[in-house]
Amino acid sequence: MNATPLHPWVIANKDGMVEAAHCDCKAGLRETCSHVGALLFHIEAIHRLMSRRTVT
């Protein structure tokens, strides 16, 4: 609870190709951490939900 928040970020093209990604955690120094993976998963899930058509 007292830990400082992490700041993962991703740069991607419109077609979804990831150009760069980084996180300021210890594993993120090598740019391969689960925080970047979680961010990409979250972005993909939001995109999937926003593109879903609902019938009302």
What does the pLDDT read at residue 33?
85
In a domain? residue 29: yes
Rounded to two decimals, what is the model's pTM? 0.74
In a domain? residue 42: yes
In a domain? residue 13: yes
Structural domain boundaries, residue 20: 9-51
In a domain? residue 4: no
DSSP structure class, residue 9: E
- Residue 51: exposure state from Cβ atoms within 10 A (0-12, 13-18, ≥19): exposed
In a domain? residue 33: yes
In a domain? residue 16: yes
In a domain? residue 1: no
Domain count, the chain: 1
What does the pLDDT read at residue 16?
84
Each residue's pLDDT tens digit, 2-56: 878 888 899 999 888 999 988 888 876 666 688 899 999 999 999 888 888 666 6
